[in-house]
Amino acid sequence: QQQVKQSPQSLIVQKGGISIINCAYENTAFDYFPWYQQFPGKGPALLIAIRPDVSEKKEGRFTISFNKSAKQFSLHIMDSQPGDSATYFCAASIEETSGSRLTFGEGTQLTVNP
Amino acid sequence: GAGVSQSPRYKVAKRGRDVALRCDSISGHVTLYWYRQTLGQGSEVLTYSQSDAQRDKSGRPSGRFSAERPERSVSTLKIQRTEQGDSAVYLCASSFSDGGTGGYTFGSGTRLTVV
């Protein structure tokens, strides 16, 4: 059962354009939604994260939009750059005392053309 | 160390053999996770341990996957009777918190190929 669904699987954007990646979740108990960026041969690195008490969070060129009622959240990359080319994973977890495990989406391979 | 280190980077195993993958986490991090990353399917948690627990709690799939934590900052993922479907990248991640949602640091992974 895939609890976090991510789309698209791949995305090609021109330099300066906006990259948009979408995720939908099923478990309403999730209370933490991070996005990870992964370059080839490297592990995922936390990019930006949001909690469900806010609808938007912005850090530089990266923005998360969160829609609690629709159980959806998305990553927007403004002014996309070739250096942003990587695989992006959305994730969700529940804050709990027994260790919070991330449930990942399938990943989106982003290519930003110069 | 400065980050999470995994070894080996690449591992080729014959089907049916057991393999062991090592993770050296960040000093002071208490929770350690193993994830399996498969192309196009994202990552799923395999097992995790907290604090000084030597035996890990199994996630999915269970049975053939287990982890030992001989030292607080070291974990070994053991895969018994490997199958071709086990071919994937195995990621180790550690966190400074026992619970909660912050501070995951991932290693670069071990790419396992079962032939």
- A31-67 confidence digits (pLDDT tens): 889 999 999 989 999 999 999 999 999 999 999 999 9
Q: Which of A95, A104, A105 sits opposite B100 (nearest CB)?
A: A95
| pLDDT computed for residue B98 by the predictor | 58
- Spatial distance between the Cα atoms of A9 and A18, rounded to a whole number of angstroms: 16
Work out the mean pLDDT of chain A and round it to a whole number. 92
Q: How far apart are CA A52 and CA B42, in angstroms?
A: 22
Query: pLDDT value at position B62?
Result: 60
Mean pLDDT for B65-84 is 90
Residues of B with CB under 8 A from a CB of A: 4, 31, 33, 35, 40-45, 48, 50, 57, 59, 91, 93, 98-101, 104, 106-109
Instruction: Inspect the interface and report whether the beta carbons of A43 and B93 lie closer than 8 Å.
Output: yes
3-state secondary structure of A82: helix
> Measured between CA atoms, how close is B10 to chain A, in angstroms?
11
Shortest distance between the Cα of A53 and any Cα of chain B, in A, equals: 15
Range B26-45 average pLDDT: 83
User: Confidence band (pLDDT; 50, 70, 90) for B53?
Assistant: low
Per CB-CB distance under 8 Å, the chain B contacts of A96 are 99
Interface touch B4/A43, C-beta < 8 Å: yes
| Angle ∠(B70,B75,B76) on CA atoms, nearest 5 | 100
Rounded Cα gap, residues A83 and A95, in angstroms: 32
Task: Write down the residue that tokens 């530089």 correspond to.
Answer: A60
Report pLDDT for A93. Answer: 86
Task: State the average pLDDT over residues B92-105.
Answer: 72
CB B105 within 8 A of CB B4: yes
Position B73 scores a pLDDT of 87
Q: What pLDDT does residue B96 have?
A: 76
Give Cα B89 to chain centroid, integer Å: 10
**pLDDT score at A95:** 72
Beta pairing class for A45-50 and A4-7? unpaired
Weakest-pLDDT range from A45-49, A76-80, B12-16, B98-102: B98-102
